[in-house]
């Protein structure tokens, strides 16, 4: 898969959806600057994954904060304009990243510093609208066409948002959490025929506008289905190591 450019591009969208950012900043209040970035804990798997993405997508990979983190970053406006065209056929599926993308594109179109300063703190005001838009889009998915994209997107998103848990009591699990976008976990739940309910994660910082949701899977046959998914659509970073351990446990038992 690391030699498949199309796979890397779709995987990159999922990873960006989960652990990336699309930024619009300013230089001395005179002009806008643009940046796409994915920042991960520095380890061999994540470093190799981001350098693989760099070869296909462009950008630069560097270590930051005393080598604690590895970062893929693009600052060139022309490169960014080419990259975001990928979203036309491979859409972002979180409301947060769609809001960032809208703000970035609008600034590129307007090139107006006054508009930037007036609106930079309001880019997430349309969160509910974006959630409904993406939720409606997911309902129209064509299994013969769109699910190929979703499979790869899900693996990229899982690299950022999932956890493979291996426990001594053999109560192993796969879990995924998400802020606000419950519709996305509901789609994933239905896609993998998961019976577990989506839970709200209680946190002192949680309010009516920011809810954290958790989907966790323990059932053996569902875990086997998910192992099959990741065998066909592998994660490419450090998450692959924990997946491989869980997969080997199930192989040895069966």
| Number of C-beta neighbours around residue 132 at 10 A | 13
For 63-89, the pLDDT digits (tens) are 998 899 999 999 999 999 999 999 999
Q: Answer yes or no: do 122 and 179 share one domain.
A: no
Question: What are the residue ranges in the chain where pLDDT is below 70?
Answer: 1-2, 143-146, 203-209, 253-254
Q: Answer yes or no: do 213 and 121 share one domain.
A: no
Q: Are 100 and 20 in contact (CB under 8 A)?
A: no
Nearest alpha carbon to residue 134 among 179, 93, 187, 177: 93
- pTM of model > 0.85: yes
Q: Quickly list H helices, 77-145.
A: 77-84, 95-110, 113-119, 127-139
Residue 36's DSSP bridge partners are 22, 74
pLDDT of amino acid 204: 56
Q: Which two tokens stand for residue 220?
A: 């053996």
| Count of the separate structural domains present in the chain | 2
pLDDT of amino acid 171: 80
Q: Are 45 and 240 in contact (CB under 8 A)?
A: yes
For 180-215, the pLDDT digits (tens) are 999 999 999 999 999 999 999 876 555 556 788 999
Distance CA 148, CA 178 (A): 22
Q: Answer yes or no: do 124 and 210 share one domain.
A: no
Q: Are 175 and 159 in contact (CB under 8 A)?
A: no
Q: Answer yes or no: do 96 and 66 share one domain.
A: yes
Residue-number span of the structural domain to which 96 is assigned: 5-139
């Amino acid at each position: 898969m690391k030699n498949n450019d199309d796979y890397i591009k779709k995987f990159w969208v999922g990873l960006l959806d989960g652990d990336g950012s699309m930024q619009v900043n300013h230089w001395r209040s005179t002009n806008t600057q643009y940046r796409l970035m994915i920042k991960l804990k520095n380890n061999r798997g994540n470093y190799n994954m981001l350098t693989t993405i760099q070869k296909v997508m462009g950008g630069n990979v560097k270590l930051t904060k005393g080598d604690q983190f590895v970062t893929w970053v693009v600052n060139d406006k022309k490169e960014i304009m080419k990259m975001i065209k990928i979203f036309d056929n491979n859409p972002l599926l979180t409301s947060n990243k769609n809001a960032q993308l809208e703000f970035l594109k609008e600034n590129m179109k307007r090139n107006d510093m006054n508009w930037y300063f007036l609106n930079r703190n309001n880019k997430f005001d349309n969160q509910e609208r974006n959630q409904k838009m993406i939720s409606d889009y997911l309902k129209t998915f064509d299994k013969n066409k769109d699910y190929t994209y979703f499979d790869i997107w899900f693996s990229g998103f899982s690299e950022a948002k999932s956890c493979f848990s291996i426990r001594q009591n053999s109560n192993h699990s796969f879990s995924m959490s998400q802020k606000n976008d419950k519709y996305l976990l509901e789609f994933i739940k239905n896609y993998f025929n998961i019976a577990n309910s989506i839970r709200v994660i209680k946190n002192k910082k949680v309010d009516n506008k920011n809810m954290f949701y958790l989907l966790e899977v323990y059932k053996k046959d569902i875990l086997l289905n998910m192992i099959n998914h990741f065998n066909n659509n592998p994660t490419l970073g450090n998450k692959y190591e924990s997946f491989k351990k869980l997969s080997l446990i199930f192989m040895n038992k069966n």
